[in-house]
């Protein structure tokens, strides 16, 4: 069975109630900062820093963000993303 590598989620900002779709949560390890280039290396799933909204340790951790008080947003819903293999 394929393991999910992340999820695309709809979030709601707690500060103003704005709901925004399409935020990507990576289940990989955040990339290291490269002092030479001034940028972060891609994460362990190959995602560039600018494409990831938040890193978390799998679906269980993502579900914890569906509760107010943990971050300055809540996850309203999400769709798991899987690695594409040929």
**2-19: pLDDT as tens digits:** 889 999 999 999 999 999
The whole-number pLDDT of residue 70 equals 85
- Count of structural domains, the chain: 1
Please, are residues 75 and 10 in contact by the beta-carbon 8 Å criterion?
yes
Q: Give the domain range for residue 74.
A: 4-82
Burial class of residue 40 (count of CB atoms within 10 Å of its CB; 0-12, 13-18, 19+): middle
Please, are residues 32 and 61 in contact by the beta-carbon 8 Å criterion?
no
Kindly tell me if the per-residue pLDDT of 86 is higher than 70: no
pLDDT tens-digit map of 16-40: 999 999 999 999 999 999 999 998 8
For residue 41, the 8-state DSSP code is P
The whole-number pLDDT of residue 84 equals 63
């Amino acid at each position: 069975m394929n393991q999910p590598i992340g999820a695309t989620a709809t979030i709601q900002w707690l500060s103003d109630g704005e709901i925004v779709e399409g935020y990507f949560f990576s289940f990989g390890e955040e990339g290291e900062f490269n002092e030479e280039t001034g940028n972060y290396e891609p994460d362990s799933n190959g995602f560039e820093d600018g494409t990831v909204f938040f890193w978390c340790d799998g679906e269980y951790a993502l579900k914890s963000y569906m509760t107010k008080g943990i971050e300055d947003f809540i996850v309203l819903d999400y769709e798991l993303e899987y690695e594409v293999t040929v």
